[in-house]
Amino acid sequence: MHDTIQFEATREFAERMDQADPLASFREHYLIPEKNGKPVRYFTGNSLGLQPVGARKIIGKELEKWAEFGVDGHFEGERPWFKYHELTKKGLSVVTGALESEVVAMNNLTSNLHLMMVSFYRPDKDRYKIIMEAGAFPSDQYAVETQVRFHGLDPEEAIIEIAPEAGEYTLSHDRIIDTIRKHGGETALVLLSGVQYFTGQLFDIRAITKAAHSAGALAGWDLAHAVGNAPLNLHDDGVDFAVWCSYKYLNSGPGSVSGVFVHERHGNSADLPRFAGWWGHDQDERFLMQKGFKPMPGADGWQLSNVNVLGTAAHIPALELFVEAGMSGLRQKSLQLTGYLEFLLKQADPGGQQFRILTPANPEERGCQLSVFFPSNGRNVFDHLAKMGIVTDWRENQLAETKERSGVIRVAPTPMYNTFSDVYHLYQELKKALENVR
Ligand SMILES: *Cc1c(COP(=O)(O)O)cnc(C)c1O
């Protein structure tokens, strides 16, 4: 249980909340873009997180080291590149709720999804289906579709998409569980996103994983929008594998290194099929350059290549801030911050005539993002906000009721660097925008 706060739609209230915020000082660790000479109100940490101040310094140091040592940098200096992937393990274990041996930073998200599916989507003639959400992020759809074809199967038959009920935008928990039960006997893999990128819905990872296992299937998770946003307990929840990217809530830089989780009950199975490379090979024998792949124990055994040091460098200070702040404190602030955003949105449109929040109203079923659907004029509202230095995200209408300039504005107040005043400011400009379009 968390305390219920009596929210108020005033600047003074927002400022009071900021003063009382125990995590307020974390904002100083980020570089906030400016517009018209003032810091923007940045609500798109769900798309590209802000740069931690420490990123430039550590990348600079690796560049200096490269200049100074050349190839010897692999084994010399403060952070030998040879073991660079180990430097992110602590942080990754904190943000995912995993053992350090269960997580590793490598490659990019979609590449990792493919690698994980090579190991954990092993269709046979009885079990070959994949259950996923309808309208999944396109890269995931393409990965799954082509994996299915790779096994000589027909995506139309092998992919079961769970769609919302008519008139709904999010998936009820029962609908997910019922689908798993219904197709359980033929299902090889349940693959969902932890937080749905479009609606912001947070799924019950533990219960869905359990349902998948009861049906005899494996459970994989795409945590692109969940990691660094909601607390995760991948180990205890029994998740089989997970993938994520580091450039959204984890603030580690555009296209920066992705991460994977492989549960320890799989991590030491040397005979699990996988696509291997030398960096996954037993570290002590790696440079013997011999035949015969012998995987490192744990998630490390899925590494292919030597680490991208410059990308991973930014990941290190970014993760340290999460370790310092702690996921439970961040979540507590996030519930208040997003609760405040929801409260103010309702104040701005009390009758619900101008827009509708698609994200679940239950705080347990969402992260920080609210997705706000405008049946009309949404684009004008978005443009007004952008002009006033309020950075949100616009998605053309993907929904049934198509009207001109309709669509969804996604707003993601992150507890790491957003303030209650940011949220209040958005509310004020939203009200102005709504008056203009009325
Ligand atoms: C952001 C995102 C991606 C992006 O994939 P990359 O391989 O990092 O380009 C994929 N899937 C989901 C669900 C995402 O939210």
List, for residues 39-75, the tens digit of each pLDDT value.
999 999 999 999 999 999 999 999 999 999 999 999 9
Contacts of 18 (CB under 8 A, 6+ apart): 24, 419, 420, 421
Q: Which of 337, 335, 390 is nearest to 44 (CA)?
A: 390
Contacts of 61 (CB under 8 A, 6+ apart): 78, 313
- Could you read off the pLDDT of 156-181 as tens digits, one per residue? 999 999 999 988 999 999 999 999 99
Res 399: pLDDT: 58
CA 197 to ligand 1: nearest atom? 15
Beta carbon of 110 within 6 Å of any ligand 1 atom = yes
Res 286: pLDDT: 80
Res 317: pLDDT: 98
Beta carbon of 47 within 6 Å of any ligand 1 atom = no
Given a cut of 70, is residue 2 above it in pLDDT? no
Res 1: pLDDT: 42
- Could you read off the pLDDT of 196-233 as tens digits, one per residue? 999 999 999 999 999 999 999 999 999 999 999 999 99
Instruction: Tell me phi and psi for residue 132, to 5 degrees.
Output: -140, 170
Res 167: pLDDT: 85
Given a cut of 80, is residue 404 above it in pLDDT? no
Residues in the chain: 438
Vertex 251: Cα angle to 245 and 255 (nearest 5)? 45
Beta carbon of 246 within 6 Å of any ligand 1 atom = no
As a whole number of angstroms, the distance between CA 132 and CA 136 comes to: 8
Taken in order 2, 227, 223, 345, the sign of the CA dihedral is positive
Given a cut of 60, is residue 400 above it in pLDDT? no
Res 3: pLDDT: 58
CA 136 to ligand 1: nearest atom? 13
Res 398: pLDDT: 62
CA 258 to ligand 1: nearest atom? 8
- Ligand 1: residue of 137, 141, 201 to mutate (most ligand atoms within 8 A of CB) is 137
Count CB-CB contacts under 10 A for residue 317.
21
Contacts of 6 (CB under 8 A, 6+ apart): none
- Could you read off the pLDDT of 325-365 as tens digits, one per residue? 999 999 999 999 999 999 999 999 999 999 999 999 999 99
Nearest-CA residue for atom 6 of ligand 1: 109
Please give the structure tokens belonging to residue 210.
């359990």
Beta carbon of 250 within 6 Å of any ligand 1 atom = no
Beta carbon of 224 within 6 Å of any ligand 1 atom = yes
Nearest-CA residue for atom 2 of ligand 1: 224
Mean pLDDT taken over the chain? 95
- Could you read off the pLDDT of 240-275 as tens digits, one per residue? 999 999 999 999 999 999 999 999 999 999 889 999
Instruction: Tell me phi and psi for residue 359, to 5 degrees.
Output: -65, 145
Alpha helices in 128-199 (DSSP H): 138-150, 155-158, 173-183
Q: Which of 217, 339, 259 is nearest to 90 (CA)?
A: 259
Beta carbon of 257 within 6 Å of any ligand 1 atom = no
Given a cut of 90, is residue 402 above it in pLDDT? no
Rg of the chain over CA atoms, in angstroms?
Answer: 22
Beta carbon of 196 within 6 Å of any ligand 1 atom = no
- Could you read off the pLDDT of 287-301 as tens digits, one per residue? 777 889 999 999 999
Q: Confirm if 183 and 190 have CB atoms less than 8 A apart.
A: no
- The domains found in the chain, sorted by start residue, are 2-31+326-437 (3.90.1150.10), 58-324 (3.40.640.10)
As a whole number of angstroms, the distance between CA 247 and CA 257 comes to: 8
Mean pLDDT of 401-424: 89
Res 162: pLDDT: 97
Report CA(244)–ligand 1 centroid distance (Å).
7
